[in-house]
């Protein structure tokens, strides 16, 4: 339940308080939550298509709804479920790494709530890639596995980063300090869970998607370690969103 509360808008009873330790220890279940988000997106898409089909029979005339509109609706549902938590990380990381010269500059800019030009462009690119890729998958009839695979692998990448890098704001405390509680078993559980979901697309496509996520994770770990000596919550969110968008794009390419 802690992983659900941390990664989505779903909240437990008002008396439930989650700590950094709780979040870190629950990291192994992050891909499962990601897969659940994807499953909800697919269920919503299925419900929309059923409603359109029913309305067509009632009105005795077709009700055209472009695939691009369906893609936007599906993506919007995912954004709503997560409260745009990871998209905020995309904007902050792009602004910080794009505009900061020193370690202190990068961390300061990422903490600023204002979104700059780098962040705006990064959000447009990531969301556009999601829209376009999901539209192709819907059109090809292969959207179900990738809606589940993409967020599962994306969340697994954050666990790998949390395990591999120290928290760059170590003196700040807060939930960002949860990385110190992310250990080997959380890494193994999250990785195996994500790979298990990836196999829904077949082992060859699963291997390609996993490779894409691995390369992105290594790249982010390298630049984050070099620029700020670790990672932050924004970097975890940005990595998750980037991996998710690229897995959807990979799925779209493999479906052509």
Q: Is residue 114 pLDDT above 90, yes or no? A: no
Lowest-confidence segment of 122-136, 171-185, 202-216 by average pLDDT: 171-185
Q: How far is Cα 186 from Cα 191, in angstroms, rounded to an integer?
A: 8
Residue of higher predicted confidence among 13 and 125: 125
Q: What is the pLDDT of residue 136?
A: 95
Q: What is the pLDDT of residue 25?
A: 78
Closest CA to 244 of 150, 159, 145, 131: 150
* Average confidence (pLDDT) over 116-139: 94
Q: What is the pLDDT of residue 230?
A: 87
Q: What is the pLDDT of residue 27?
A: 85
Closest CA to 38 of 74, 67, 68: 74
Confidence band of 115 (pLDDT split at 50, 70, 90): confident
> Angle at which helices 143-164 and 117-140 pack, to 10 degrees?
140
Closest CA to 212 of 142, 175, 157: 157
- Provide DSSP, 25-60: HTGGGHHHHHHHHHHHHHHHHHHHHHHHHHHHHHHT
Tokens for 254, please give them: 């493999």
In this structure, what are the phi and psi dihedrals at residue 167, rounded to the nearest 5 degrees? -75, 125
Q: Is residue 249 pLDDT above 60, yes or no? A: yes
Q: How far is Cα 178 from Cα 2, in angstroms, rounded to an integer?
A: 12
Confidence band of 152 (pLDDT split at 50, 70, 90): very high
Q: Classify the C-alpha dihedral 94-95-99-100 as positive or negative.
A: negative
| R_g over Cα of the chain | 19
**pLDDT tens digits, 60-94:** 555 567 899 999 999 999 999 988 888 889 999 99
């Amino acid at each position: 339940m802690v992983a659900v509360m941390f990664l989505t808008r779903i909240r437990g009873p008002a008396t439930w308080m989650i700590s950094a330790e709780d979040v870190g220890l629950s990291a192994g279940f992050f891909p499962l939550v990601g897969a659940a988000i994807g499953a909800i997106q697919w269920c919503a898409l299925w419900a929309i298509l059923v409603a359109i089909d029913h309305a067509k029979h009632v009105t005795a005339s077709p009700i055209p709804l472009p695939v691009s509109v369906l893609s936007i609706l599906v993506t919007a549902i995912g954004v709503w479920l997560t409260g745009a938590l990871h998209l905020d990380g995309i904007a902050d990381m792009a602004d910080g790494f794009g505009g900061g010269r020193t370690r202190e500059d990068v961390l300061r800019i990422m903490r600023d709530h204002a979104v700059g030009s780098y962040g705006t462009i990064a959000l447009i690119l990531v969301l556009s890639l999601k829209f376009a890729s999901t539209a192709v998958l819907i059109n090809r009839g292969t959207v179900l596995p990738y809606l589940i695979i993409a967020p599962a692998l994306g969340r697994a990448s954050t666990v790998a980063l949390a395990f591999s890098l120290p928290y760059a704001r170590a003196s700040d405390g807060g939930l960002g300090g949860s990385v110190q509680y992310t250990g080997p078993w959380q890494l193994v559980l999250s990785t195996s869970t994500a790979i298990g979901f990836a196999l829904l697309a077949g082992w060859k496509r699963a291997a390609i998607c996993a490779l894409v996520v691995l390369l992105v994770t290594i790249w982010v770990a390298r630049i984050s370690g070099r620029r700020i000596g670790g990672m932050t919550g924004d970097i975890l969110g940005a990595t998750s969103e980037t991996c998710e968008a690229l897995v959807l794009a990979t799925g779209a390419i493999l479906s052509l």
